[in-house]
Structure 1
Amino acid sequence: MPWTARENSMRDTVAHILSKQGAEKKPKFVCVSTIFSLMKTIDELCFLGLLFPTTHINHASHPVFLEIGQARGRVGWTQALRSNLGPHAGPSILIRLSTVRHRDDGKTEFLTPKEVVQVAAHEMVHAYLLLLSCRREQCGADFEVMHRDADGGGHGLAFVAVLKAVLGQIQSWGPGLEEFGMTDDAIYSANEIVTAATKGKMESQLRPRENRPLMEESGNTSATAPRTKTQGVAEPLVRETRSNDTAYEPVPDTTHSDAQHKFRRANTDPFVIIADILGVIWPIGFIVFAGLVIQLNDKETDESSAGQWRNAVTILATLFPILFAAVVGRLMSQIARWRLEHGAKMGMLEQLMGSRTVGGTILVHFQLRALNLLALFLLLIWVFSPLGGQSILRMLTTRSNKISRPSDVVYFDTDAPSQFAAWSESSPTSYAFNINRMSIVDAMYSALILSPDAVKSDSMDVWGNVKIPALSSYGSLDDPEWQTVPSSPNDVEFSSLVGVPVTRVSEGNTTFSLESSYADLACTNLTTDAFATNSSTSSSRLHFATAVVFNESPLCMSDRCGAAAPNGTWQGWNLNGTMLRNFTLANPDPQAGWNLALDTFVNTSLWGDLAWAQGHGIPYGRFNSPGSLVNETNIDARPTTLLFQARQQTDARAPPDYVTSRCSVTQHHVESRVRCSRAAAAPGGESSSARQTCRVLAQRPSRKPHASERVSQLSFPRVFRYVSRKLPLATNHHGTSYTADISLNYLDDPSSAVMTAAASQPELARVPARAFGFRLARLVNSYVFLSQAFDSAPSGSVDAQAVFETNVTVGVDVETDVEVWKVETVWAGLYILSCAVFLVGALTSAVVAHFVHGPDVLGYVSSNVRDSKFMEIPAGAGRMDGIMLTKMLKDKKVRYGYTQAASENTPLVGVGPKEEVAKIRGKKQVA
């Protein structure tokens, strides 16, 4: 029957190698892959492929097990083996070849490829006959006659016939092969029986397979044949063997022992145990961290601990994906190993081995075009790697929180009596003392008027005291409920330029109610009249066109004044006068540009009657103030009118005019909701040194009992005498000056720029009555309040430990804005879930690792050459982990390319030694 094209190609390849390289004695030409490839081809062409059914050396399905080494003694050996039937059945025949010949003189000679193949063909005939020959009881043939020669060897009639046929076939494959198998002494010396002088005795058949030779001590099939054994193999290339034996000696049956199938248990390796422990400890540590973080929720932070926690979060967010990948990647490898031992589809194994990183998981499924439940499961697992890291970063944040704690706030009592009531000028000493104190009051008054516009419209004055808005400027005095103060300064008028001192404000935010009072002026439109000339005098002095009587005597500056004037008459100091006067020593006060007079005071019996105050249990310090009359019912509280007059000269040569307005006076008592904030002190500083900020949030009419609203601070003559005489002179302006003083400029326009740039007198008549009333009230209230608290206003709100002689202490809840930890519930939940997946992966990896018995061969470079027919691999390599085999072969250079084997005239590609494998160069084929 003619051969096929494939068989012709295989024949030509063998002929080419044996003819061209058959005489080479270099080890690189006598290698396992080359010898096996040639034997495989001869098997297919001469033995129907029955000895080596696959292209893999020593495949489990092969009936013949091949060992190639450098054994002493024979260069060829064939051994019949006994094995189980069933899934763990081993090969039936052992062929053992040596690539060297050890001479008696101790020298070693390398065989050529042609010599080794001749020996291999010889041994393949033995194997073929042992595998397929019938025994007498089965076919009636005498096995001894057919297979034994006269010396008891295995070269009987059947062997000689088959060998001649095989050699004749090979000799016909090409020129140079005519004497193949007939001239080499190795063919015959290989079949001689080793004498009894051969060294050693075979090792026990009961040892594990990797530790004992597959050819061991056995009895000769001939009853007369002596028991023999040989020296072991030196530096094996396929599997370590340490003895030879007589041909055809059966091996004792060890199929009932598990020793030949046992592997070294890699799961007891210390590194495996350490990996299992660390894999479980890591997720537990992350879960413990989650518990610690959850306990921080709503707890106050501090600078040092906050930095430590933030550093911990940053570090763990970096470590989580790394450790997660290490554990879950190991899990994928262990599951793939376990599935490989039990049999699995290559697609599944590739999915598992490719899913050892996040990117690898996505890439491998894209390349495999795999969309199944396993792919979805793997992607879902790896989602928790970045999700866990991001959850750590986002689950712990900080936020501002308000913490309330009780405290006390002290503020000045605006119902305190004016210190004007206790001052007197009855003696030179008291006069000098008053001048000193009045200079302080006047200076503070001027500072308030000349303060920047931003300060005038601010909720606090120049000294940080909280200013009280006039409730009637934006709300209703008839509404008893809280009314919100507008935030825009254009929508609210303040009752005074000076605020109420507030102290002992703690760090944080403090909200409290402040009781205060102020005088409210409802003024009429200003009228303008001209001065008239008094013709009865030679000096032609000017006087007012409308006569206004100023009763100055009841308001004398000493304690020994004249009789009190009845209510209903104007009582006040005429500083610009009916007759303009010059400054003299007898009249030390200069002229002023404007006057104030009042038509009604409290009962005249109360003006200086200390006995009345003592009889009513009123302390002297509270006398001459509305607060002393809270419980009095027989007080003559008539409507009170304040007279305002101002000289106005628009031309230095023309006669002056004067403007007049009458204002009804009422005392408003309001309750203000004040909010103060004091920042934390700088490190190393005192908290009391930090400036506080306060503003009134809302107001309502006071609900406490008070004196009649017709009784104001101005209703007491001992107070008003200073207001009437000193307030118009507070700015030290001479009334004869062409320009007006800054008080009148303020009444015309409160802007500081207008006041400081004014070159002429203001036109007060153009000011609306309502605006004029608020402005004049601010000036009067400011002057009166300075008389009450001139020694407390400059520092009371700045000094947290200031003490006021007349004060009100209120209990408050201080709200402090503190930074507290906030645990984001969603991110914390995702983080814990990621840790749970992390922990389950670690536990599963540890468990699966202890159910795997075989070596770890997946995912290593050494797996490419482990069973390669083109590589000479050390004996026992099949039972080694991939990393161990890599370490053993780490210095060996390999290459993927064209090998020396060919199929149908096409070179086979594979991984082999660098020097034996040709480079792949595009589409060029190597012959």
Structure 2
Amino acid sequence: MVSSSKDGISQVASKEIASPVVPSPSLPSPSLQSRRPGARPISWATLKSRPNSTTSPALTSPRSPGSPLLGDRFEGMWRPISGSYNGKLPTVDEKYTGLGVEDDGSDRPSHERAQRHSHFIQQFPAEPEKLSVLPPFEILLADIGLALLPLIFIIYGILAGLLHNRPTSSFYFGDGTYNWSGELYGPTMLKLQNYIPTFFPMAFGIEVARLTKSFATWRAQRGTHLGFLEQLMRSRSLGGTISTIFDLRIINWVGILLLTIWALAPVGSQAGLRIISANGTYVNTTLLNYMDTEAIPTGLQAASNDLQYYSYAVNSLYSTSLLTPASVVAPQDPWTNVKIPSLEYLEETKGCGQDGWCSRTLATENMGANVSSVTAGTWSSLTGLPVIGGEFGVGIQNFTLSASYYVFKCSSLDVVASDVDFNSTIPDRGVYDTGDNSSIWDSGNTAHPSTFFVDTTTPLAGLGSADGDARLEGANMSPRTLIFGSRAPNGTTVANCSVYTSYVLAEVNCNFSAPLWNIDKTLSGKTSSGACYVDRIRRDPAHPTLDPYTPLDANYRIPQRFFEQWPLATGNVPGGSSSPTERFINDVSTESASSSTNSILVATDWLGFNSTNTNNDNGISYVDIAELDIETFTQRFSLVFNTFWHAFCNLQAMTQSEIGLGFGDAFPGSVMFRSVDATLSVPGQHYTVNFVWLGIYMVCAILSFVAGIFTLVFNYSTLMPDVLGSVSVMVKDNPYTPLPKGGSAMEGPIFARKVMHMPVRFADVKANEAVGHIALVSMDVEDPNVPVEPLKKGRLYH
């Protein structure tokens, strides 16, 4: 401890130093001025300077090579290196040795005579000045800069929050705005996040340590307990706070508060490291449009037959569906439209749960080997529903769509004699001539003969009344009956079927494997390019049962044109051969095209290679559909009927073009599609912000910013010099470390720079007494009457 006891001072002051009186020379000093200068005590003991010799323990100037301490490796580490602050230090002058206050040769009173002190101390300010709360301009700028340092981390936290759900790649949004997070913003934030654990504790420690010191200085000026100041000044780090509690043997709210504040530094740094991740799942809602299976293009109901202008395209689409084996197996059609499973088939194969939802997976689990994974009855149609829209066209899009399709219940499948004719109820259709080898009915075009027909025994809507009148819907409405006739080897195969509408809800999952960045997606852009499928299906609660009312009942022109076009859809059929539609119904083989001579894929007769008696059949190779069981026929007939209906109603949407494109008011897009909100999730393609960690980080950053602001407030509300926590302050008013006059108002850093070259040590200043006294003494100024000895082990000290 530092001693300034009265006995020690009086003892030193009472001795006379027998040395010649030589005035103290003026010592050069760097131009450093205290910002809070003022008068200080001038009562100093009369001391004698130690001679500068090789045996002296004094630490001399770096330009004084005579001191043995210059070789000490620790002192060598302290000495300023080139380019750092060195100051102008006086050299050792022998005329300093042995000077005393009483012997300076002056007649002035002793308190006005020249005072002797360590010749390594720079000159103190000569004139006193008033105290001021405002520091020099450069100090003020430094204080403000340090106070605002946490703003960097706060701004980072704000920018991190704005990064949430932004894509990791650059692309254009549907509204034309550019995603600037992918190239610069996001990657830069991720890089900066790695440095948060390094630099945040530094900034946090600077602010809290400065606040602790400024608050202690502010309290010291106004008066407080010494222990409070001691605790504050020793608690400028987490380790210092903990050790102070143990050293002072005190647990108080100050210590608890300081511990809590310091603990936020590592917490905040670790929170900053966990804010942003680039493999999160982006979740949003996007608008999708899909084909409305209940809508009927106005062009099919109008008096003018617009069908003739695009029938070739409808026929091509239908034929492609029949001739593509994957159309039966895959959950999508060749144009990646979503195929709707047959709910009736899943109900028959135990594919429905107690909640009403049905799936192919559940059917396989319940039936095992008794059910094929894919059959003709699995799907309601070989073609699916187009899905259009979506903001990004990537990720996973889940939505529920409403769909409807034709369901047939066939009661008979028989062969009638070839001489039996059927009268059509369709206007201008006439009689079906089952005995005609070239065509079963007169289509009006001899180049397009037909081997099957579809008709109805139920009156068509609008006939006998105003055009366009529909059959009235109601509870007592009976289902429409359709007749299907197919040329058979020995007559005509005739099926009678009732037709219904089945309304279902289907949950669709779209899993896009490749991102479509840099594609300007618009409402007409196709987004279901490859990965949409129906996961499960259920009955629409609004239509709990099969509805006998179908689109065929809306207007007589619809079945008239549909029944006329369908038998001609596959083009020319050579005489004696069945159409691809009939061959598909008779034998749909998706695994081995060569497994059946009737397979559509090996229908050489249909291709025109059986015009002679190659197969000993006299050139006649009609399929015999009547050999099928009624259930198999019903499934396959429903499949091809719905397939042609999809193509017949909305060709452009089926081929991934804009709905209703090119047909004007006759096929308006607003009629042909429905809108639905889809849940869009993109795993691993968007930034995710953990807002819990972000909140913790922001609390710590804001707290450090508040600490910086309060530091400014306390600093510039305090007049007293900033001396707390400085080791150099121990030489102030210490009789064993004499100083020049003045300097009491100097700031701690300025005072330290002026006295930092003074050699000091803790020593025993009562070496000739039984009990010693420990004090900080100057090593180059001594009084021969005040024996100073190093501290000794075993000696008693007060």
Measured against the shorter chain, the TM-score band is 0.5 to 0.7
Q: Which residue of 2 aligns with 1:758?
A: 595
The reply on whether 1:883 has 2:749 as its aligned counterpart is: yes
Kindly state the Cα deviation for residue 384 of structure 1 after the two structures are TM-superposed.
3.0
2:408 is the counterpart of 1:520: yes
Shift of 1:329: 0.3
Query: In 2, Cα distance between the equivalents of 1:94 and 1:869?
Result: 7
CA distance in 2, matches of 1:855, 1:784: 91
In the alignment, residue 345 of structure 2 is paired with which amino acid? S
Map residues 231-380 of structure 1 onto 2, 5 A cutoff.
232=114, 237=119, 265=131, 267-270=133-136, 273-274=140-141, 277=144, 281=148, 303-304=179-180, 308=185, 314=192, 320-337=200-217, 351-362=231-242, 365=245, 371-380=251-260
Supply the distance in 2 between the matched residues of 1:636 and 1:285 (Cα, whole angstroms): 76
- For residues 290 and 102 of structure 2, what CA distance do their matches in structure 1 show? 118
1:62 alignment counterpart: 9
In the alignment, which of 500, 508, 528 is matched to residue 692 of structure 1? 528
In the TM superposition, 1:21-60 aligns within 5 A as 56=3
Aligned pair partner of 1:463 in 335, 340, 345: 335
Asked if 1:384 corresponds to 2:264, the answer is yes
Deviations 1:533-591 (A, max 9, x none): xxxxxxxxxxxxx752365796899x987x547xxxx96976799xxxxxxxx99889x
1:664 corresponds to which residue?
A: 497
Deviates more, 1:758-767 or 1:458-467: 758-767
> 1:598, 1:193 → 2: CA distance?
138
Q: Which residue is 2:720 aligned to?
A: 853
Q: Deviations over 1:235-282 (max 9, x none)?
A: 86499999xxxxxxxxxxxxxxxxx9x997475433665566556656
- Distance apart, 1:462 and its partner CA: 1.8
Deviation at 1:356, TM superposition (A): 1.6
Matches within 5 A, 1:137-216: 215-216=111-112
Q: How far apart are 1:518 and its partner, in Å? A: 2.4
Give the match for residue 484 of structure 2.
642
1:847 is displaced (CA, Å) by 2.6
Q: Which residue of 1 aligns with 2:78?
A: none
The CA distance in 2 between the partners of 1:903 and 1:632, in whole Å, is 125
Are the aligned partners of 1:497 and 1:779 in contact in 2 as well (CA < 8 Å)?
yes
| In 2, Cα distance between equivalents of 1:470 and 1:769 | 17
Task: Tell me: CA distance 1:321–1:240, structure 2 relative to 1, closer, same or farther (3 Å).
Answer: closer
What is the CA–CA distance in structure 2 between the aligned matches of 1:645 and 1:758, rounded to whole Å? 23
Q: Aligned equivalents of 1:705 and 1:357: distance in 2?
A: 83
- Contact 1:513 1:672 (C-alpha < 8 Å) held by counterparts: yes
Which of 448, 467, 476 aligns to 2:321? It is 448
Q: 1:62 to 1:517 in 2, by over 3 A?
A: same
| TM score, norm. by length of structure 2 | 0.57
Letter in 2 for 1:473: Y
Cα distance between partner residues in 2 of 1:668 and 1:437: 26
Q: Report how far residue 403 of structure 1 moved.
A: 5.5
State the alpha-carbon separation in 2 of the partners of residues 774 and 714 from structure 1. 26
**1:445: Cα distance to partner?**
3.3
1:461 partner letter: D
Task: Report the counterpart of residue 384 of structure 2 in structure 1.
Answer: 499
Partners of 1:373 and 1:457 lie apart in 2 by 75
Deviations along 1:269-298, one digit per CA (max 9) or x if unpaired, are 336655665566566897899899999999
Q: What does residue 359 of structure 2 align with?
A: 486
Match of 1:473 among 340, 345, 348: 345
Report SS of the residue matched to 1:664: strand
The change in CA–CA distance for 1:730 and 1:912 in structure 2 (over 3 A counts) is: farther
CA distance in 2, matches of 1:500, 1:681: 21
In 1, are the aligned partners of 2:455 and 2:563 still within 8 Å (CA)? Answer: no
Identity of aligned residues (%): 18
Gap runs ≥5 in structure 2:
25-39, 57-96, 167-172, 365-376, 600-623, 783-789
In the alignment, is the contact (CA less than 8 A) between 1:521 and 1:665 conserved in 2? Answer: yes
Q: Quickly say closer, same or farther: Cα 1:498–1:420, change in 2 above 3 A.
A: farther
Cα distance change of structure 1 residues 463 and 522 upon mapping to structure 2, 3 Å threshold: same
Matches within 5 A, 1:783-822: 783-790=644-651, 793-796=654-657, 805-807=666-668, 808-809=671-672, 812=675, 817=680
* Structure 2 equivalent of residue 617 of structure 1: 467
Going from structure 1 to structure 2, the CA distance change for 1:779 and 1:93 (only over 3 Å counts) comes to closer
Residue identity in the other structure for 1:692: S
Alpha carbons of structure 1 residues 921 and 785: separation in structure 2 relative to 1, 3 Å: same
How far apart, in 2, do the equivalents of 1:863 and 1:402 lie? Answer: 64
1: CA distance, partners of 2:436 / 2:240: 99
8 Å Cα contact 2:410/2:497 also seen in 1: yes
Q: Could you tell me how far 1:498 is from its partner in structure 2? A: 2.0
Amino acid at match of 2:333: D
Cα distance in 2, alignment partners of residues 828 and 498 from structure 1: 51
- Structure 2 CA distance for partners of 1:191 and 1:845, relative to 1, 3 Å: closer
Q: Check conservation: 1:474, 1:485, Cα contact below 8 A.
A: yes
Change beyond 3 A, Cα 1:863–1:490? same
Q: Aligned partners of 2:689, 2:719: CA distance in 1, in Å?
A: 46
Match of 1:539 in 2: none
Cα 1:76–1:903 change in 2 (3 A) is: farther
> Which deviates more from structure 2 when the two are superposed, residues 328-337 or residues 287-296?
287-296
Relative distance call for 1:904 and 1:812 in structure 2 (3 A) is: same
Q: Is the 8 A contact 2:12 2:45 kept in 1?
A: yes
Residues 460 and 467 of structure 1 are in contact (CA less than 8 Å); yes or no, is this contact kept in structure 2? yes
The higher radius of gyration belongs to 1
- Structure 2 residue 543 is the aligned partner of structure 1 residue 683: no
Counterpart Cα distance in 1 of 2:9 and 2:791? 35
When residues 747 and 376 of structure 1 are mapped into structure 2, their CA distance, relative to the original with a 3 A threshold, is farther
- CA contact under 8 A between 1:446 and 1:731: conserved in structure 2? no
| Alpha-carbon distance change, 467 to 865 in structure 1, aligned in 2, over 3 angstroms | same
Is the contact between residue 337 and residue 387 of structure 2 (CA under 8 Å) also seen in structure 1? yes
Tell me how far 1:778 sits from its aligned partner.
0.8
Letter in 1 for 2:179: E
**Structure 2 Cα separation of the partners of residues 552 and 742 of structure 1:** 22
What residue identity is the alignment partner of 1:451? Answer: T
Which residue identity is paired with 2:381?
Answer: S
Instruction: Give how far 1:486 is off.
Output: 3.4
Which residue of structure 2 lines up, in the alignment, with residue 778 of structure 1? 639
Question: Deviations along 1:578-628, whole A, 9 cap, x unmatched?
Answer: xxxxxxxx99889x9xx646685455xx79xxxx8696233xxxxxxxx85
In structure 1, list runs of 5 or more residues that go unmatched: 1-53, 78-89, 101-108, 115-185, 203-212, 217-229, 243-259, 425-432, 528-545, 578-585, 619-626, 648-656
Amino acid at match of 2:256: L
Q: Do 1:418 and 1:787's aligned partners in 2 also have CA atoms closer than 8 Å?
A: no
Shift of 1:780: 3.2
- Return the TM-score normalized by structure 1: 0.51
Which amino acid counterpart does residue 518 of structure 2 have in structure 1? P
Kindly tell me: are residues 666 and 411 of structure 1, through their superposed partners in 2, closer, same or farther at Cα, counting changes over 3 Å? Answer: closer
- Which structure ranks higher in relative contact order (CA pairs < 8 Å, sequence separation ≥ 6)? 2
Local SS of the residue matching 1:356? coil
